[in-house]
Amino acid sequence: MAVGTIVWLGSEVMFFAGLFAIYFTLRSMSPELWSEQTAKLNVTYSLINTIILVLSSFTCQAGVFAAERNQPRRTGTALQFWKWGTVEWFYLTYFMGAAFVVGQIFEYANLVSEHIGLSSDSYGSVFYLTTGFHGLHVTGGLIAFLLVIGRIFAVKVFTHKEATTAIVVSYYWHFVDVVWIGLFLVIYVLK
């Protein structure tokens, strides 16, 4: 399962490499348009949203560590996060990922009010294409977290199989985070 996921993520790398190529190609053809449109981006807002997503990788990994020590659920109170199991860490990761997606939706609404739409110009098209596909990937990761949590609740005994599933989902989540860091740097930081 892990090897298949890694191979599949390799194809996802190629997919996002294509999106980066489209971005850089269109940017090189319309530098004035890029300068004008990127000035409308709220970099601080996006940085906060990025920090939420990056921190979710840490909570995800904490869930993996719990799975590796065969701890599906917390052993202490809800406030004793150091005693949390995979379920609690994955719930937190899910909520942070969902906050990121909601943050993207609010950013889209703001940009539409600034007249940057999917069909407004090449900048709008490539912005929504790259960030939208990433958002779909985050949403897929959120679904995967719910499936892992549901599976943990469904089994009577937490085994190596459930731990492996949690680890494989973490590979995907870390991939999605790394891709976003690249997108953030290219779209919001690189001038």
Tell me which residue range forms the domain holding 35: 2-189
- Per DSSP, the three-state class of 48 is helix
CB 111 within 8 A of CB 70: no
Alpha-carbon distance of 38 to 191, in angstroms, equals 8
Alpha-carbon distance of 138 to 35, in angstroms, equals 28
CB 67 within 8 A of CB 170: no
pLDDT in tens, 46-75: 999 999 999 999 999 999 999 999 999 999
CB 131 within 8 A of CB 39: no
CATH of the domain at 172: 1.20.120.80
Q: Give the pair of three-digit tokens for residue 117.
A: 């739409």
* Domains contained in the chain, number: 1
Per-residue pLDDT for the chain (191 aa), expressed as one digit of tens each?
667 777 887 888 898 899 899 999 999 999 999 999 999 999 999 999 999 999 999 999 999 999 999 999 999 899 999 999 999 999 999 999 999 999 999 999 999 999 999 998 999 999 999 999 999 999 999 999 999 999 999 999 999 999 999 999 999 999 999 999 999 999 999 87
Selection from 90, 38, 81 nearest residue 61 by Cα: 90
CB 104 within 8 A of CB 150: no
CB 107 within 8 A of CB 92: no
